[in-house]
């Protein structure tokens, strides 16, 4: 049974965003298109607030670190792009460190992350962080049990020192279901523009799902502290997750909401 559209819904669909949303995917789905228009409008308002937050940070020499963790294909990169696409690139960085070099392997584990910390007025977004050692590394045998134990003993003190130094720290974990992860992997593999995203670790992620869960739960139990809590973002629906990510960042930083931008 077809439903009648309200005048407001018709206006939304007649907009540039509405027509693109309606015609971009087959079959035509009016409700999906309307949700997308609402998402785009909501995103634009939130991005204005992110500019206001950044302006406040620049004016007050604030230093902000935002950590993104989560399952493979959980949408960390997409969320970071929506957070950063409108703010001033001179005062923000996205850090996605590769495998440590031989020299870095001989250093204190946290050292290469500290070297990426923000200067005054800057926001740094970590697309995966020191928490690699809490989950990814032990699951895939990239660290010893002793190295894992040392990390878990040090991480809360490390974050306390970050906060006491005046850096603001926001920790976000993007969570998806096993079924949704499998679906996204299949979509990535079938898209020639995205196939490069699949890594050897990704290919093992479904088989190691329960092992990841075990270490993820241990990470939350140890590091979800009062001074440095985790925010879990349910990410099966990407658009909803992105909105929730931005809202959490805005809620976590006491910026001046009255600033003109």
Within a domain: residue 6? no
The dihedral through the CA atoms of 44, 46, 50, 52 has a sign that is positive
Within a domain: residue 20? no
Range of the domain at 232: 61-252
Instruction: Give Cα separations from 235 to 27, 59, 60, 70, 75 (angstroms).
Output: 24, 33, 33, 10, 7
Within a domain: residue 45? no
CATH number for the domain spanning 134: value is 3.40.50.300
| pLDDT score recorded for residue 255 | 97
Within a domain: residue 32? no
Per-10-residue mean pLDDT for the chain, 261 residues long? 67 67 66 81 97 98 98 97 98 97 96 98 98 98 98 98 98 98 96 92 96 98 98 97 98 95 83
- Prediction pTM value: 0.91
Within a domain: residue 156? yes
Number of domains in the chain: 1
Within a domain: residue 55? no
The distance between the two most distant Cα atoms of the chain, rounded to a whole number of Å, is 66
Within a domain: residue 7? no
Within a domain: residue 56? no
| pLDDT score recorded for residue 16 | 66
CA–CA separation, 258 and 85 (whole Å) = 22
Nearest to 54 by CA among 123, 142, 138: 123
């Amino acid at each position: 049974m077809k439903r009648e559209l309200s005048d407001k819904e018709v206006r939304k669909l007649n907009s540039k965003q509405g027509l693109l949303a309606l015609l971009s995917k087959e079959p035509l789905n009016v409700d999906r298109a309307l949700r997308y228009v609402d998402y785009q409008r909501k995103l634009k308002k939130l991005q204005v607030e992110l500019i206001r937050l950044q302006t406040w940070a620049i004016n007050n020499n604030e230093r902000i670190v935002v950590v993104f963790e989560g399952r493979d294909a959980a949408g960390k990169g997409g969320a970071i792009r929506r957070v950063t696409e409108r703010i001033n690139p001179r005062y923000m960085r996205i850090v996605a460190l590769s495998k440590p070099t031989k020299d870095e392997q001989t250093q204190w584990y946290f050292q290469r992350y500290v070297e990426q910390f923000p200067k005054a007025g800057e926001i740094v977004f970590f697309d995966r962080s020191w928490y690699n050692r809490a989950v990814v590394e032990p699951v895939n045998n990239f660290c010893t049990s002793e190295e894992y134990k040392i990390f878990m003993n040090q991480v809360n003190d490390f974050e306390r020192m970050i906060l006491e130094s005046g850096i603001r720290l926001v920790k976000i974990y993007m969570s998806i279901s096993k079924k949704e992860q499998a679906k996204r992997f299949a979509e990535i593999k079938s898209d020639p523009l995205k196939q490069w995203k699949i890594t050897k670790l990704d290919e093992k992620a479904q088989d190691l799902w329960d092992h990841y869960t075990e270490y993820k739960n241990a990470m939350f139990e140890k590091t979800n502290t009062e001074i440095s809590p985790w925010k879990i973002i349910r990410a099966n629906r990407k658009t909803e997750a992105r909105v929730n990510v931005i809202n959490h960042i805005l809620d976590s930083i006491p910026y001046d909401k009255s600033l003109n931008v």
